[in-house]
Every structure is written in C-alpha cells, then in structure tokens.
Structure 1
Amino acid sequence: MSHFDCAEEIKHAENINGEQLLSFWEGFFQIHTVDGKEDYSMQSSQGYEKAIITQKNTLVGAILATDGDKKRVFEVKSEHFDTFLKESPFPNKTYSSCAVVGNAGILANSSCGKDIDSAEFVIRCNLPPLRNGYEKHVGVKTDLVSANPSILLQKYDSLLGSRRKFMEKLCQYGSSMILLPAFSYVKNVALCMRAFHTIQDFGSPMQPIYFHPEYLKDLDTFWRSQGWEAVRLSSGMIVTSMALELCDTVDLYGFWPFGLHPQTFKELTNHYYDDMTGRRGFHAMPEEFKLLLQLHSEGILRLHLGDCESNGE
C-alpha cells in the first residue's frame, strides 16, 4: 500500500486521538500481539545491573570481545580500568517511570517537554540540543545521555584539538551520566578515553560510563530471537532495551523514522533540531519501529506519536 492510499484512509487524522492513531498504524503494518509481557523480559540478557562496565565486573587483564566487530578482542589495562565506575550505577535499582527521548523531527513543535520532564528518569540519545527554544518541546531533564563516537569524531575533531566546544555542549546535561560505547569497536577505545579525561579535566559533574560489550551482544541475540533482522541495533533501541529492564513504565518520544507526520502528513525534518530531509513516505518500514509498535500494542511501553495536547497553549 502506498502512502497516498494510507492518507486517503485517514484523511480525518487531525481529529483522532493518539490511541486511535497508534491503533491505526498497528493495523496498517499488521502488528500482532503475543501472549504476556514475559516474551520481552530480556531474560537472555545479563540484566541492567551488568549493562555497564565496572571495576567489579571487569578487572585488569580481562579480555573483552567487542560486540561491533565479532573477530576483535581487547585487553583491559590499568589506564582503562581506572576510568571504570567502582560499581553499577543501578544496583538493584528500578525507577517508577522513564522517558526515552529520540531526536526525530516529529518532536518539533510537539509541546512534549513537560511530559518528558515529569518522568523519574530521562534518557536521551546522541547529545541532542535542549536549549534555545527546544525546551517546550523536548524538555531539559536528563539523567542519562548517549554519545556515539561518530559525533565526537565529526563534530569535535576526535577531541584532539580544542575541547572547549565539546564541554560547552555538555553543560546543558547537568550532572547526568554520559554513556559511551567504548568497547563496541577497538577503534572507539582511545576516543572514548579522551572523552572521559576531557570531562574530568574540565571538572564537569557528568559521569562517563561504558556499555559492557557482552550486554550489547546479549541484546542483539535477544532481539533476533524476537524477529529483528537488521545489521545492528541503533543507540535508541539499545537504551530503550535497558529502560525496559530498569523502569516500571517506559514512554518513548521522538521515535518516528518517516518523512511525513503521521497525523497531518506534513513533511518532517530528519531531526527536530535541523532542516535536513530525505526520507519520504511510509514504505520500507524500519524493523526497529515495527518492534516498538509491537511492544506498544502489548502494553510493554508507550510510544508517543504527534503532539502532547496537555501542554498545548
């Protein structure tokens, strides 16, 4: 079915609420439920208490098999060990409510900021901007933010030159944790170590933490057992997976991988903070979004599409 047929079927979209909208998309993409939440209990993973590398679960001399390059291994040395947390930041800890915030263009002018900030624990992806007018739509509260090495490489010259711009960027996240996939690829290690020392040298209250590659490999295995077939999990799907273990309720915002708004059919930018476009229509639905719709239909998480009406003016 083309997106033109789809648009004809829901030309009244402006007048339907969020639950009706999600029900439509579940039917449109033929999402079927399975019995019980236990199907997504992540029992095959190590659990969130082992998601992060610490000095307790990874000693000097440990050999880590990188999750990104299955053929490479890395030996932990003292200079790496010294950057690890002493213990898990989530020791037997669960949160009543968590918001996982993606960066899709659907968040622009959404007025979702208050809803996002009302969560007990807020996770953001890939160092997004929160100030300069975005506050109303994406909120400002941050407890954990991920940072892909590609961002450090492309925007901050691998932290080999001036590091001030990078630190100015981090100021908006306060004393949150910054999650780095240092051991996904061997080439990431030195870059993420530089990020750690930059944060330390500038006296930032942020706490760098690293995903354990075994945890990421277990997530990959788990989602493949549920039908996911893409090459690699995105950072958004990874932190969503962790949130499902860490939180009683999980709300997702800014996860919409298409170039048209699901209600108004207006063209969307790739991210809420840029003017880049390129994705068109609703064909070739990404596998991850299909999984998120599945989880929403089963009540395992809440996927928010469109505006947050409660915060509208």
Structure 2
Amino acid sequence: MRGLLLKLLFSLMLCLFILGTVLTAFVWYVFNYSDDRPRSSSHPIRKNPEADPSGVCKECRENTIDKMVEIHSHTWKKQEANFKKFRSQLTSRCHGATKAIVTQVNTPLESKIVYDGEKRKPLVVTPKLFSTFLKEQPFKNVTWETCAVVGNGGILLNSSCGEEIDSAHFVFRCNLPPLDKGYEKDVGNNTDLVTANPSILLEKFEGLMEHRRPFVESLSSYRDSMLLLPAFSYGHNTPVSLRALYTLQDFNSPVQPIFLNPEYLQSLARFWRAQGLRAMRLSTGLIVASLALELCTNVHIYGFWPFAQHPHDRRPLTNHYYDNRQSKKTVHAMPAEFAHLLRLHGQGVLRVHLGQCASGPR
C-alpha cells in the first residue's frame, strides 16, 4: 500500500513538472513574439534617434546647433554680479580650493577613501598610500587672473587659438592631448595642469606594466605641469595611477602627479544635478571647468563643441582635433554639458570660444 502511494505521488509530481514546462514555454513564446504583430497607427514604434534614417534626428540636431549659435552670437561681456553669484554657490557646495585634490590634510592616515564609483568598497589610507599624497593643497589661497580650459574637440583644428590660449595665466588641458606635430598654432603648448584617465595609461602604455620610459617621454611637452589622476574613482584605477606616480618619481620627471578627490567629485555631481544636468558621470572637461570657475577671475573655454558639424559653416569636424576616435556616449552627456556652459556664457559668467581666434583673452 505504501509503495502504491509513493508511485502515485511520483506520477503526480511528474505531471506537474511537465505542465509547468509547457506553460513556461507558452509564456516565453507570447512575450517574445507578440511584438511581431502589426501595430495600430495610434501606437507608432519609437525609433532610436541615432539610427533614424529618415533625417528627422539630423534636423533636430541642426535646430539645436542653430539655437546654440544664436546664443553664442550675441556680443559677450562679463557680468560681474552673475559671476560672483555662481562662483559663490559653487564654492560653498564643492570647496574646490581645499578639497579638489587629495592631500595629507583632507585625507589623513587611517581614514577611509570612498570611491566615487564604488561607494561600498572604501579604501583605508595606509602609511604607504598616505606618503603619495601632497602635503598641502596646491590651490589654497591662489587665484589666477585669466585661465584657459582647453578641451580636445575637432573645432580647435585650424582655429589659430594657440597664441590666445598660451596668453592665459593658467592653462588646464584634458587627457594628455598632443601639443606638437603642428598643432601648436591651434592649441598652444603652455600647460599648468593636464588630466589623464587611467584608460589612456592602459591603452597606450600597457598600464605601465612593461616599458615605462615611453610614458615619461610622452609627458615632456607638458614640462613641469601637474598631472591630475582620478585614482579613486574606481578600485581598478588606483594601482595604475600609483604606478604612474612611481614611474614619474623613478625617472625624476618634473611633472607632478596629483590625485583627484572622490569627495569633491561627489559634491560636484550633486551641484550640477541641482543645476538640471542629468548625466551618468561628469566629463573631465566639465570637472576642470568647474575647478577653474573657483580658482580664476576670468575663465575662457576652448575646444568644447560637442557636434560633428562646425557651428558657422557646417563643415564636418573630427571628434578630436588630433583624431576621430569616438567616446562612449552612454557615460557622458556632452551636448547637455555644453548647453550648461553656453548658458553661463550667455550670463557672462565664463566665455566659450567657437571658431577662429584673433587675439588674446579679453
């Protein structure tokens, strides 16, 4: 009798299993193939704007460019009241002069560094790590009269902006751009601070795991500038950033490596969200432009045009002034960032330069 009950129970379980399998297959089929049915005209298929072959998206981009050119075409004049108000808001929330760079003062021994992109994996500051930090903030109690923030956009090519950029008292550059090979007349060659994303160190210099001299030699055009590294954005950025620091020390390079403070990055992200900017991560260009607004009396922006057409004659532009390599559009909201900078341009807070340059910053 007991054996019969066990057989019946087993048969029942087998039937339920088969029925469940059939139902699962049916549900999967419905959800995966229901979209093949014709849709009514009241519910049109939403296309990916970037892949739309109809030209509608192209027209939208052209309208956006037209609007931006219209804003930029007005005679620019610095509005001191607007500048001071924006700078005060930025400084009170981000404290770039004292917090932008990791130092032994703002990041003491045995404290925990919270990664900007990995907040659940804090890093304890050991004596060895602590020794790599600057002893004090390089921007404390310093204000430059005129600063040039130089992006790498293709709009800089044939711009003749080099002399104008070099006339600034402090020059920020992004992601180790080339300053030789004839680019000097368009981008200048003076540099006081240049950033380097760890991805560049991995792609161009094997993460500094092999020959390191090419990396040091590639920095010769930046002379004794500061090299800003986002060592604490993600955990995997820390080892390669430290190797960059040790390499520069071992080769007695005049370039001074410094680390971007993740606490400052978090404050800056909150500030720009409050301004209406929605982006997964702020671009390097917007980060250094924000820092410049705290440290400089007059801020001039070059090479930040985010479109593949020139604003004035619509001729095609490469993505960078030195190549046409495309960046990841899902990470940074470049057009949206530029719109915010252009808004500040219209308010007389900073000056965005587009097209040809004629003379030094005014």
TM-score class, shorter-chain normalisation, is: 0.7 to 0.9
Question: Matched residue pairs, number?
Answer: 292
Q: CA deviation at 1:23?
A: 5.6
Match for 2:295 among 240, 246, 256?
246
Secondary structure in structure 1 of the residue aligned to 2:239:
helix
Q: CA deviation at 1:2?
A: 6.0
Q: Residue 77 of structure 1 aligns to which amino acid in structure 2?
A: T
Match for 1:236 among 265, 285, 305?
285
Aligned to 1:200: 249
Q: 1 CA distance for matches of 2:322 and 2:287?
A: 22
Secondary structure in structure 2 of the residue aligned to 1:60:
coil
1:51 is aligned to 2:97: no
Where does 1:214-225 land on structure 2 (aligned, <5 Å)? 214-225=263-274
For structure 2, the residue ranges without an aligned partner over 5 or more in a row are: 1-55, 74-78
Secondary structure in structure 1 of the residue aligned to 2:138:
coil
Q: CA deviation at 1:71?
A: 2.4
Q: Residue 197 of structure 2 aligns to which amino acid in structure 1?
A: N
Aligned to 2:5: none
Pair 44,254 (structure 1): closer, same or farther in 2 beyond 3 Å: same
Pair 272,285 (structure 1): closer, same or farther in 2 beyond 3 Å: closer
Pair 210,295 (structure 1): closer, same or farther in 2 beyond 3 Å: same
Secondary structure in structure 2 of the residue aligned to 1:186:
coil
Q: CA deviation at 1:6?
A: 8.1
Aligned to 1:180: 229
Aligned to 2:126: 77
Q: 2 CA distance for matches of 1:275 and 1:189?
A: 29
Larger helix fraction of residues? 2
Given that residues 95 and 248 in structure 1 are in contact (C-alpha distance below 8 angstroms), is that contact kept between their aligned partners in structure 2? yes
Q: Which has the larger radius of gyration?
A: 2
User: What is the Cα-based RMSD across aligned positions, in Å?
Assistant: 2.6
Q: 2 CA distance for matches of 1:241 and 1:263?
A: 27
Pair 108,218 (structure 1): closer, same or farther in 2 beyond 3 Å: same
Q: 1 CA distance for matches of 2:230 and 2:202?
A: 14
Aligned to 1:24: 70
Q: Residue 236 of structure 1 aligns to which amino acid in structure 2?
A: G
Q: 2 CA distance for matches of 1:275 and 1:84?
A: 36
Given that residues 171 and 192 in structure 2 are in contact (C-alpha distance below 8 angstroms), is that contact kept between their aligned partners in structure 1? yes
More divergent stretch after superposition (158-167 vs 42-51): 42-51
> 1:162-190: CA deviations, max 9, x gaps?
01111111001000000001111111111
TM-score by length of 2: 0.75
Secondary structure in structure 1 of the residue aligned to 2:278:
coil
Q: 2 CA distance for matches of 1:89 and 1:150?
A: 25
Q: 2 CA distance for matches of 1:152 and 1:134?
A: 22
Identity of aligned residues (%): 52
1:134 is aligned to 2:183: yes
Given that residues 114 and 121 in structure 2 are in contact (C-alpha distance below 8 angstroms), is that contact kept between their aligned partners in structure 1? yes
Match for 2:161 among 112, 123, 133?
112
Match for 1:212 among 254, 261, 270?
261
Aligned to 1:271: 320
Aligned to 2:356: 307
Aligned to 1:189: 238
Aligned to 2:82: 36
Q: CA deviation at 1:60?
A: 1.6
Q: 2 CA distance for matches of 1:227 and 1:306?
A: 27
Aligned to 2:36: none
Aligned to 1:294: 343
Given that residues 95 and 246 in structure 1 are in contact (C-alpha distance below 8 angstroms), is that contact kept between their aligned partners in structure 2? yes
Q: 1 CA distance for matches of 2:205 and 2:106?
A: 31
Q: 1 CA distance for matches of 2:259 and 2:61?
A: 42
Aligned to 2:37: none
1:153 is aligned to 2:202: yes
| Structure with larger RCO (C-alpha < 8 A, sep 6+) | 1
Q: 2 CA distance for matches of 1:290 and 1:302?
A: 13
For structure 1, the residue ranges without an aligned partner over 5 or more in a row are: 14-20, 28-32
Given that residues 259 and 277 in structure 1 are in contact (C-alpha distance below 8 angstroms), is that contact kept between their aligned partners in structure 2? no
Q: 1 CA distance for matches of 2:233 and 2:123?
A: 10
Q: 1 CA distance for matches of 2:326 and 2:118?
A: 31
Q: 1 CA distance for matches of 2:200 and 2:233?
A: 15
